[in-house]
Chains A and B, each alone.
Chain A
Amino acid sequence: MQSWLVRVWDLGVRSFHWGLVASVTVCAITGFLVGRQALDLHWIAGAVIAALLLFRLIWGFCGTGYAQFRSFPLSVSAIRQHLAQALAGQPERHLGHNPLGAVMVYALMTVLAAIVLTGVVALGGVAKQGPLAFAMPFADGRSVLSIHNLLAYALLAMVAVHLGGVVFESRRSRENLARAMVTGDKQALPGETAPPRAGRPQAAAMIAAGLAMVVVPGIVLLAHRPGHGVPPATLDAAYVRECGACHMVYPPSLAPAATWNAMMDGLDEHFGENASLAPAVAAPMRAWLAANSAEHWDTRAAVTLRLVDPVTPLRITAAPAWLRFHRSIPASVFAAKPVGVKGNCAACHSDAATGRFDPQNIEVPE
Chain B
Amino acid sequence: MTNITRPLALAACLGISTLALAATGPAQQKVLDQYSADAKAGGGAFAGFSAARGKALFLSRSATGKPDTPSCTTCHTEDPRKAGQTRAGKAIEPMALSVSPDRYADLAKTEKWFARNCDSVLGRACTPLEKGDFITFMVSQ
Measuring CB to CB, which residues of chain A are less than 8 angstroms from any residue of chain B? 244-248, 268-269, 271-276, 278, 339-341, 343-344
For the complex, what is the distance from the CA of A278 to the CA of B115, rounded to whole Å? 11
For the complex, what is the distance from the CA of A268 to the CA of B85, rounded to whole Å? 20
Chain B's closest residue to A249 (CB) is B90
List chain A residues, Cβ under 8 A from B66. Answer: 269, 272-274
Which of B87, B88, B89, B116 lies in contact with A276, CB distance below 8 A?
B116
Contact at A344–B119, with CB atoms within 8 Å? no
B: interface residue count bin: 10 to 19
Contact at B90–A274, with CB atoms within 8 Å? no
CB distance from B68 to the nearest CB of A (A): 4
List chain B residues, Cβ under 8 A from A247. Answer: 86, 88-90
CB distance from A279 to the nearest CB of B (A): 13
Which of A246, A248, A268, A339 lies in contact with B119, CB distance below 8 A?
A268
Contact at A274–B88, with CB atoms within 8 Å? no
For the complex, what is the distance from the CA of A248 to the CA of B88, rounded to whole Å? 8
Q: Mark B67-96, 1 if CB is under 8 A from A, else 0.
A: 111000000000000000111111000000
Chain B's closest residue to A278 (CB) is B112
For the complex, what is the distance from the CA of A24 to the CA of B87, rounded to whole Å? 48
Q: Mark B86-128, 1 if CB is under 8 A from A, else 0.
A: 1111100000000000000000000010011101100000000
For the complex, what is the distance from the CA of A343 to the CA of B69, rounded to whole Å? 19
CB distance from A346 to the nearest CB of B (A): 10
Contact at A341–B68, with CB atoms within 8 Å? no
16 contacts across the A-B interface (CB closer than 8 A): A247-B89, A248-B88, A248-B89, A248-B90, A272-B67, A272-B87, A273-B68, A273-B87, A273-B116, A274-B66, A274-B116, A274-B120, A276-B116, A276-B119, A341-B87, A344-B88
Which of A246, A268, A269, A278 lies in contact with B86, CB distance below 8 A?
A246
CB distance from A245 to the nearest CB of B (A): 8
List chain A residues, Cβ under 8 A from B119. Answer: 268, 274, 276
